[in-house]
Structure 1
Amino acid sequence: MKFTEEHEWLREEEDGVMLVGITAHAAEQLGDVVFVELPEEGTTVSKDDEVVVIESVKAASDILAPVDGEIVEVNTALAETPGRINEDPQGEAWFFKMTVSDPGQMDDFMDEAGYQKFIA
């Protein structure tokens, strides 16, 4: 996994598609998630585009595209059960899968040890 300073995680799947979600730290900071708005499949995004909206009992937050690419699948189960983000943020509660246009953008992200130092 790779981690961003915006508290997102990215994990490359066997088919080369990138799975994207938020970290356990981010989910804890948000509090109980009550609503998630996901992007449309097939949407082309640029790094830092707003792609997901999360609303919790504390606040609303935007999730930004970590890299340039195309959204190829969304986790529709989150729309029905947004609380899964609090239960399993780095597993079953991923937001979307995307192709990466510029793999070099991945070089800017932290590994897990780097992320743990970042949030300490």
Structure 2
Amino acid sequence: MFRLATTAVTPLARRTLSTTAGALTEYKFTKDHLYVAHTPGSTVAKVGLAPAGAIAHGPVAYVALPDPESQVEAGESVVSLECSLSANEKVASPVSGHVLAPNYSLFENPSLVNDDPLDAGHFVELRMTEPTQLDSLLDAAEYEAYLAQQS
């Protein structure tokens, strides 16, 4: 389980919906501080560590990524992190799917997980096999309320 740092986290409500090349992106979160960024109606999503999780782990030194085309099940390890506050942390995927593209830029620059967690610091892009799993995740307002309760 992640430890929450006492550092304040920028509210996510402004980032709940963002546009990239005209497409609407929605962020859903877990209580373990992961996110799934997806375009409503699409099964393609990015999975990463939310800013609160990046703060809780401390600087990321290394990321072990899954192979392309591998199958990931919700609740099973999708990546392993080596961080300053946790030696070897296995991160469970919030959704099931087929890995389309591991974020190989994290090999050369693992600090992207901390510096730009909601964009360039994502772990993988995958094709969700069960998009209804998103329904069990928190929207930005629910996640912010959860963070407020934890502090």
TM-score, L = length of structure 2: 0.75
CA distance in 1, matches of 2:43, 2:132: 14
- The equivalent of 1:29 in structure 2 is 56
Higher relative contact order (CA 8 A, sep 6+): 1
CA distance, structure 2, for counterparts of residue 35 and residue 2 of structure 1: 25
Query: What is the match of residue 107 of structure 1?
Result: 135
Of the candidates 58, 65, 85, which is equivalent to residue 58 of structure 1?
A: 85
The alpha carbon displacement at 1:16 in A equals: 3.5
Q: Report whether the alignment pairs 1:71 with 2:99.
A: yes
RMSD: 1.3
The 8 Å contact of residues 78 and 93 in structure 2, kept in 1 or not, is answered as: yes
**What's the counterpart of residue 88 of structure 1?**
116
Larger radius of gyration: 2
Residue aligned with 1:79, SS: helix
SS of equivalent to 2:82: strand
Amino acid of the residue matched to residue 49 of structure 1?
E
**Unpaired runs of 5+ in structure 1?**
none
Shift of 1:85: 1.1
* Whole-Å separation in 2 of the counterparts to 1:12 and 1:90: 12
SS in 1 for 2:47: strand
Structure 1 position 8 matched with structure 2 position 34: yes
Gaps of 5+ in 2: 1-26
Separation (CA, whole Å) in 2 of partners of 1:38 and 1:85: 13
Q: How many residues align?
A: 120
Partners of 2:103 and 2:96 in 1: CA distance: 19
Give the ranges of 4+ consecutive aligned residues of structure 1 lying more than 2 Å apart after TM superposition.
13-16
Separation in 2 of the partners of 1:71 and 1:113? Answer: 28
